Amino acid sequence: MTLAHILGYPRIGADRELKKATEAYWKGDIDQAALEAEGRALRARHWQDQQAAGLDFITVGDFAFYDQVLNVSALLGAVPRRFTEQDAPAVVDLDTTFRMARGRAPTGTPAAACEMTKYFDTNYHYLVPELHEGQRFRLSSERLFDEVEEAKGAGHRIKVTLTGPLTWLWLGKEKDGREDFSRLELLDAILPVYGQVLARLAGQGVEWVQLDEPALVQDLPQAWKEAYETAYNQLGNAPVKLLLATYFGALGDNLRLTVGLPVDGLHIDAVRAPEQLTAVLDNLPSYKVLSVGAIDGRNIWRADLALLRERLSEARLRLGDRLWLAPSCSLLHVPVDLAREVGEGATLDPELRGWLAFARQKLDEVVSLARLIDQRATPEDRQRLAEASEALEARRASTRIHRPDVAARLAATTAADAERASAYPERAPKQARRLQLPLFPTTTIGSFPQTGDIRATRRAFKAGEITLEAYEACMREEIAHVVARQEALGLDVPVHGEAERNDMVEYFGEQLDGVAFSRFGWVQSYGSRCVKPPVIFGDITRPAAMTVRWSEYAQSLTDKPMKGMLTGPVTILQWSFVRDDQPRATTCRQIALALRDEVTDLEAAGIAVIQIDEPALREGLPLRQGDWQDYLDWAVNAFKLSAAGVRDETQIHTHMCYSEFNDIIGAIAALDADVITIETSRSDMELLDAFQEFAYPNEIGPGVYDIHTPNIPEVDWMVALMEKALDRIPAQRLWVNPDCGLKTRGWAEVEPALTHMVEAARVLRRRH
Ligand code: GLN
Ligand code: ZN
């Protein structure tokens, strides 16, 4: 019999109950007992869902009040010293984990929060384990064992999930140690604690433990590969069965290593890497279970059960009862329940809804698929299969998806369309003549404070309490206010402030055809923060101009060159659920063409400076370096396609906010933006080394004002930063600007900070 299971379930709750409860706890509105009760209730409900769907195991250990990687840090006692008296404290309590995550909690002394970063290539952020030489570890949390008791108490057959030791280390970072200290040296200290955990679980009657090791789909240094052998030779002796879970890609050169590790089962991702199934089958020892991740855990499309049944028939034949089925990865990365998207206020129409499956629906898909493969399908399974086939057939044929005009335009696009008319050295003087900017021109990244008033107005509009006219009038008023304040501050290239935008991707998604929005499709991004990604379901077109009237209005209020503001094609793609019926590159090019029209419309409306933000360019990098070039080629090309329709005299800006450029500097230069503004203030301009070494040819605005803190930067400090920039980049190519948009800041901070920034530019002009 084929077993059906999942690697993990979303924990936020269909109504974001977890978000509401944790935030209430942080604010002091509820106590810890109430928070724990909400956690228990959510777990009980999610286990019940899994049980009711007919999964053979329910999965315990995927719950976290903040983050599952942080949970393992707590389990191992890996708490940085600023939060605790000693290495490996006896108990890491809930508030300590909250302090690690956010710097403060209802109890305990505040301290600088741990770094947070994206989990592999997802939009989920985890807390980076901080590791130092000689660090000690010990079993410091009872939480996992308590949850196992809870699940057993509810009568479930369970499997426990836990991040594996090597992936946990892989996700960590070395902090203050010898220069050549490697966190891998800590493996020997960690393994005994993992051994203890497994023994405790065995003592609780747990049969299977799933150790998540997605690091195995990345390029691993030789020492790490060897460490996998050492670690699993040791853990393989544990008195439980181990399922080694890999996902987000192919095992590739780690396939033989992985398949050979002495564990009882292996999970592979057969959605991202369907081609690896045969190779794994050929190499899998005959004592091992193979869990095939056949349902997409990263996307929201309904599975093609008929196709999967056929594709998996060989695996079933070769493995017999050793075949398990699951989603490709934890369902943490998809929204909770499509059933919520019906009734009054629904934003997804029935046809579109029929093409989708959220976490709850994916449980049914796994269960039905397992029974279909075994030829023990119930009438319900057969009906699910028929409905899926019908919906998918309709999707394939739908005129809402395939638009001949889009295909024709894409086919007619030439390489020349992605190139500006002239090279930068010819464009620059033309732009200088038109824009008449001083040396060290000052600008901002786009957004100004999203005040409570702005948000309240938007809420009122969405709730139907005020008319579109009234809403737009308020936004125009806000724009006028923002433009006037920038004039008073003396900024050289003002912006309109983005008051009318709720979110930099949603705003464009709502105006493009081929993109839909769910009403409750929330996905955890970090901690209590959730995002509701747009759903790109069809060919993309732009029925009407999206930003032109706002920019035009803003320009009418000033003689300075107003900067138009757009979100780039790669970022729109990266922060959405993307259709799975064509390459991502094609979808990205479609978005690029829609944006290209917006860019040329802005130009025609007299906007001389246009910024196309690409903060997500870097995070789109594939997990394997060997795949980087292909991605960068199409991503860069999409950006250029969106930008290159303008005349030489129109200045294209782009903006990126992350602090690693070294390995992609060639691609950044290839974007050929006239000006790039980047985040640098926290790195003391060291980041510019990459630009200097590469002899980056165009203009750069290295951020001098860290907008992530409420601190107001002093004039001298910003001048000093710019002097460091001047060691690397000539004055003629430098701009003065903040690190990122100001939407999360208040006017009380922004006003003095920008006053100082403009003053810093004046000091620099006098000096150079
Ligand atoms: N233009 C956007 C803003 O200023 C850019 C945001 C970003 O880079 N994440 O808000
Ligand atoms: Zn930014």
pLDDT per residue over 275-285, tens digit each? 999 999 999 99
Q: Which ligand is nearest to the CA of 743?
A: 1
Cβ atoms of 397 and 351 closer than 8 Å: no
445 is in an annotated binding site: yes
Nearest CA to 128 among 81, 194, 73?
73
- Ligand 1 center to 706 CA (angstroms): 13
Residue located via tokens 């998207």 = 341
CA atoms within 13 A on the CB side of 642: 32
Q: Give the pLDDT of residue 317.
A: 97
213 is in an annotated binding site: no
Provide the 8-state DSSP code for 72: H
Q: In what helix (H) or strand (E) does residue 422 lie, and over which residues does it extend? A: none
Q: What's the CA gap between 371 and 361, in Å, rounded?
A: 16
Q: Which atom of ligand 1 is nearest to the CA of 445?
A: 4
Q: Is the pLDDT of residue 614 over 90?
A: yes
- pTM of the predicted protein model: 0.96
Nearest CA to 294 among 285, 304, 282?
304
Q: Give the pLDDT of residue 710.
A: 85
- Ligand 1 center to 532 CA (angstroms): 18
Q: Give the pLDDT of residue 555.
A: 98
Which pLDDT tens digit goes with each residue over 703-722?
999 998 888 999 999 999 99
Q: Give the pLDDT of residue 451.
A: 95
Which pLDDT tens digit goes with each residue over 471-518?
999 999 999 999 999 999 999 999 999 999 999 999 999 999 999 999
What's the whole-number mean pLDDT along residues 112-122?
92
Q: Give the pLDDT of residue 658.
A: 72
| Mean pLDDT (the chain, rounded) | 96
Q: Is the pLDDT of residue 687 over 80?
A: yes
Confidence of residue 729 (pLDDT cuts 50, 70, 90): very high
Cβ atoms of 444 and 737 closer than 8 Å: yes
- The three-state secondary structure class of 702 is strand
299 is in an annotated binding site: no
What's the whole-number mean pLDDT along residues 690-695?
93
Q: Is the pLDDT of residue 745 over 80?
A: yes
Cβ atoms within 10 Å, residue 52? 11
Q: Is 564 close to ligand 1, i.e. is its CB under 6 Å away?
A: no
Q: Which residue among 444, 500, 501, 504 is best mutated to probe the pocket of ligand 1, counting the most ligand atoms within 8 A of its Cβ?
A: 504
Confidence of residue 16 (pLDDT cuts 50, 70, 90): very high
- Ligand 2 center to 741 CA (angstroms): 6
- The three-state secondary structure class of 172 is coil
Nearest CA to 351 among 396, 384, 385?
396
Which pLDDT tens digit goes with each residue over 278-312?
999 999 999 999 999 999 999 999 999 999 999 99
Q: Is 740 close to ligand 1, i.e. is its CB under 6 Å away?
A: yes
Q: What percent of the chain clears pLDDT 90, i.e. is strictly above it?
A: 95
- Ligand 1 center to 739 CA (angstroms): 9
Q: Is the pLDDT of residue 659 over 80?
A: no
Q: Give the pLDDT of residue 507.
A: 96
Q: Which of 5, 708, 756, 768 is catalytic?
A: 708
Q: Is 739 close to ligand 1, i.e. is its CB under 6 Å away?
A: no
Adjacency order of strands within the sheet including 289-295: 3-4, 323-327, 289-295, 265-269, 241-245, 208-212, 158-163, 58-60
Q: Is the pLDDT of residue 176 over 80?
A: no
Q: Give the pLDDT of residue 571.
A: 97
Least confident among 80-94, 329-343, 445-459:
80-94
Burial class of 56 by CB neighbour count within 10 A (0 to 12, 13 to 18, 19+): middle
Q: Give the pLDDT of residue 660.
A: 80
* Rounded (5°) CA angle 583-673-732: 160
Polymer length of the chain: 768
Q: Give the pLDDT of residue 681.
A: 81
Q: Is 289 close to ligand 1, i.e. is its CB under 6 Å away?
A: no
447 is in an annotated binding site: yes
Sign of CA dihedral 429, 433, 434, 438: positive
Q: Give the pLDDT of residue 613.
A: 98
Q: Which residue among 443, 447, 495, 508 is best mutated to probe the pocket of ligand 1, counting the most ligand atoms within 8 A of its Cβ?
A: 447
613 is in an annotated binding site: yes
Q: Is 527 close to ligand 1, i.e. is its CB under 6 Å away?
A: no
What's the whole-number mean pLDDT along residues 401-425?
97
Q: Give the pLDDT of residue 458.
A: 95
Q: Is 514 close to ligand 1, i.e. is its CB under 6 Å away?
A: no
- The three-state secondary structure class of 405 is helix
Q: List Cβ<8 Å contacts ≥24 apart for 507-512.
A: 507/546, 507/567, 508/546, 508/566, 508/567, 508/572, 509/534, 509/536, 509/572, 509/576, 510/534, 511/542, 511/543, 511/544, 511/546, 512/540, 512/541, 512/542, 512/546, 512/591, 512/594
Q: What is the DSSP code string of 612-665? A: EE-TTTGGG--SSGGGHHHHHHHHHHHHHHHHTTS-TTSEEEEEE--S--GGGH
20 is in an annotated binding site: no
Cβ atoms within 10 Å, residue 257? 16
Q: Give the pLDDT of residue 207.
A: 98
Q: What's the CA gap between 539 and 629, in Å, rounded?
A: 25
Q: Is the pLDDT of residue 378 over 80?
A: yes
Give the residue ranges of DSSP H helices in 436-562: 452-462, 468-489, 506-509, 548-556
Q: Whose CA is nearest to atom 6 of ligand 1?
A: 741
Provide the 8-state DSSP code for 714: P
Number of H helices and E strands in the chain, helices first, is 28, 22
Q: Which residue among 123, 445, 617 is best mutated to probe the pocket of ligand 1, counting the most ligand atoms within 8 A of its Cβ?
A: 445
Give the residue ranges of DSSP H helices in 242-287: 255-260, 276-283
Provide the 8-state DSSP code for 124: -
Nearest CA to 131 among 195, 204, 182?
182
Q: Is the pLDDT of residue 640 over 90?
A: yes
Burial class of 523 by CB neighbour count within 10 A (0 to 12, 13 to 18, 19+): buried
Q: Is 657 close to ligand 1, i.e. is its CB under 6 Å away?
A: yes
Q: Does residue 333 have an active-site annotation?
A: no
Ion ligand 2: residues, CB within 5 A, are 615, 657, 740
Q: Whose CA is nearest to atom 10 of ligand 1?
A: 741
Which tokens is 303 given? Answer: 């599975």
Confidence of residue 323 (pLDDT cuts 50, 70, 90): very high
Which pLDDT tens digit goes with each residue over 582-604?
999 999 999 999 999 999 999 99
Q: Is 613 close to ligand 1, i.e. is its CB under 6 Å away?
A: yes
751 is in an annotated binding site: no
Q: Which ligand is nearest to the CA of 447?
A: 1
- Ligand 1 center to 277 CA (angstroms): 41
Which tokens is 84 given? Answer: 């605790």
- Ligand 2 center to 677 CA (angstroms): 9
What's the whole-number mean pLDDT along residues 51-63?
98
